[in-house]
Structure 1
Amino acid sequence: MRKTWLITGISSGFGKALTEQLLAKGDTVIGTVRTEKDDIRALTKQYPDTLDVYHLDVTNVDEIRQVVNSTVKNHGKIDVLINNAGYGLFGAAEELSDKDINLILATDLTGSIQMIRAVIPHMRKQGGGRIIQISSYGGQVAYPGNSLYHAAKFGIEGFCESVAQEVAPFNIGVSIIEPGGARTEFRYGSAHIAKLMPEYDNTPAHSFLKMLDPANGLAPGDPDKMASQIIETADQKPAPLHVVLGSQALQATIDRLNDRLNEYKNQTDLAASTDFKD
């Protein structure tokens, strides 16, 4: 059955790959961009009846609500929301400016939260839907030099896990997508880097500089293959809560979760020592 998808951030990366694949199979895409690029204009001309593009700054809550309401008014429904808009921010916590911090949280965390909140009433009234949140394996595994990006991703994952339980009675499924490194503009074009301090040179906080340099090897993830897997989750019942994409990302996640589990298991006596002895 043909679906109507609302996707944020379709001008590049996963958003663009998702849009191209969905349009090719005949679905309708309502996509948002901050700046409309030539290839998106070309897609609009190629699919004039099934691609609708809105300019949206996801840090603007009023704009989010306007896009969601216009989508429902013009297309009748939103079968699937894919929260994809976001970017990476690199640098030690001390190196980040207040503006750096406020902007990434407003974009990667609060923007996604507000988009989900805007869509839920419509999905509830229409009898169901699917919310797909693009996170990262960085929502489970933290590395130095990436603290605020991890803060946003850990935060949105906690939000989505809670919301998934709230909306399940209304036939609304929630999936959190946790990709590993992929060959997109996220790493090789749109990444934001703080004003670096020499004090952190040759420390773990600046190890990301090697990762961002394509000369040191490209990321293993194929964005087209990842997009295809993301699309498939929309038809899975029940909705998978966590979907990790990329073998390296999966192994790193398993290793970190095992470490965390062992850390907690070793605190059994300590935890019990703080209970009342009734």
Structure 2
Amino acid sequence: MASPVWLITGSSGGLGYSLTLHVLAAGHRVVATVRSSSKSAAVVKEIEARGGKIVELDIAKPDTISAAAKQAESFYGHIDILVNNAAYSLLGAVEDMTDDEGALQFETNFFGPVRLTRALLPSMRARRTGTIVNISSIAGQDGRPSCGMYAASKFALEGLSETLAHELAPFNIAVLVVEPGAFRTNFLQAAQITKAGVSEPYKEGPVQIALDKFDAANGNQIGDPAKGVARIFEVVTGEGLAGGLKGKILRLPLGSDCVARLEQKLESVTGDLKLAREASLSTDFA
């Protein structure tokens, strides 16, 4: 029986790179995307040397996605597992973010995954099998200062994933949302600060404090990428330490910091519900 075929976006660095190497080491087939083969030449050489295939794709460019999807399918005839991983973080105060900056954040983190998923679903539906893995973030559950647009894009991806899970279940297509905390990758290094920088009103307060914390955390993140991608692989395949979770969860929180923030978020939402319950129940027609 042939091994599964993965399509992993954003494989030139971060968790996408680590996952690509992990999947290849497990003997599965991988089509990995990078924005530029020349700029990521060393990574491309390594992935190809281990048996992976490469497709150039800038997920933020809508007119390239359909052709990239077809190219990815052409290597092995189909894709079994799509991992929408390519993303970046725009940092700064929401007030300082321009429409163009916000649009690019959503094109990359939300609309790109939507379009790529849409391009591959006909084949998955026809074969009545497949898995969509959307790499979100703890920010997709818990918005913090300086991450407004990034959190919004990940909240959107999570909402879409919930709906997809319902819509695709009849076709035996699974959906998994992965919510990483802080992993020691190049993610923070690749984050973009708003072009305007931090405006005067926000230079002392939550936004600047958060940005300073990100600077201090870069290279010191608690999460081990190798362990993180191993858990993703296990949940998708049903093998190993986390294999028993396959088919049982929609969301996969990753990292002790993620678990702590998610627990705090759930407590906060539960608290709001309890406080607002009487007022909320008073709004139905009598």
TM-score tier by shorter-chain length is: over 0.9
Structure 1 contact 175–239 (Cα < 8 Å) conserved: no
Q: Does 1:192 align with 2:196?
A: no
Structure 1 contact 174–239 (Cα < 8 Å) conserved: no
2:260 paired residue number: 251
- 1:231 Cα deviation after fit: 1.0
2:13 paired residue number: 12
- 1:131 Cα deviation after fit: 0.7
| SS of structure 2 residue aligned to 1:206 | helix
Residue by residue over 1:27-74, the C-alpha shift from the partner in whole angstroms, topping out at 9 and shown as x without a partner, is 111111112313223224413xx3111111112233211122222233
2:242 paired residue number: none
Distance 1:231 1:81 in 2: 12
Residue by residue over 1:147-201, the C-alpha shift from the partner in whole angstroms, topping out at 9 and shown as x without a partner, is 00010010000000001000011110000000001111111x2100112212211
Structure 2 contact 135–179 (Cα < 8 Å) conserved: yes
- 1:217 Cα deviation after fit: 7.1
One-letter amino acid of the structure 1 residue matched with residue 85 of structure 2:
N
Residue by residue over 1:127-157, the C-alpha shift from the partner in whole angstroms, topping out at 9 and shown as x without a partner, is 2111111000111111011100010010000
One-letter amino acid of the structure 2 residue matched with residue 174 of structure 1:
V
Q: Does 1:272 align with 2:274?
A: no
Residue by residue over 1:240-271, the C-alpha shift from the partner in whole angstroms, topping out at 9 and shown as x without a partner, is 20000001111110111111112012222211
Structure 2 contact 55–72 (Cα < 8 Å) conserved: no
One-letter amino acid of the structure 1 residue matched with residue 163 of structure 2:
S
Distance 2:157 2:72 in 1: 24
2:32 paired residue number: 31
Distance 1:217 1:203 in 2: 24
Q: Does 1:43 align with 2:52?
A: no
1:228 paired residue number: 230
| SS of structure 2 residue aligned to 1:186 | coil
Q: How many residue pairs end up in the alignment?
A: 274
2:243 paired residue number: none
Structure 1 contact 90–208 (Cα < 8 Å) conserved: no
Structure 2 contact 48–54 (Cα < 8 Å) conserved: no
2:123 paired residue number: 122
Deviating more after overlay: 217-226 vs 7-16: 217-226
Q: Does 1:157 align with 2:166?
A: no
Distance 2:218 2:136 in 1: 25
1:182 paired residue number: 183
One-letter amino acid of the structure 2 residue matched with residue 161 of structure 1:
E
One-letter amino acid of the structure 1 residue matched with residue 254 of structure 2:
L
Distance 1:116 1:216 in 2: 31
- 1:118 Cα deviation after fit: 1.4
Structure 1 contact 77–126 (Cα < 8 Å) conserved: no
Q: Which runs of 5+ in 1 are unaligned?
A: none
TM-score (norm 2): 0.91
One-letter amino acid of the structure 2 residue matched with residue 106 of structure 1:
E
One-letter amino acid of the structure 1 residue matched with residue 263 of structure 2:
I
| SS of structure 1 residue aligned to 2:79 | coil
Structure 1 contact 91–196 (Cα < 8 Å) conserved: yes
One-letter amino acid of the structure 2 residue matched with residue 193 of structure 1:
I
CA RMSD of aligned residues (A): 1.6
Structure 1 contact 174–240 (Cα < 8 Å) conserved: no
TM-score (norm 1): 0.94
Q: Which runs of 5+ in 2 are unaligned?
A: 239-245
Distance 2:101 2:213 in 1: 21
Distance 2:209 2:284 in 1: 42
State the identity %.
Answer: 36
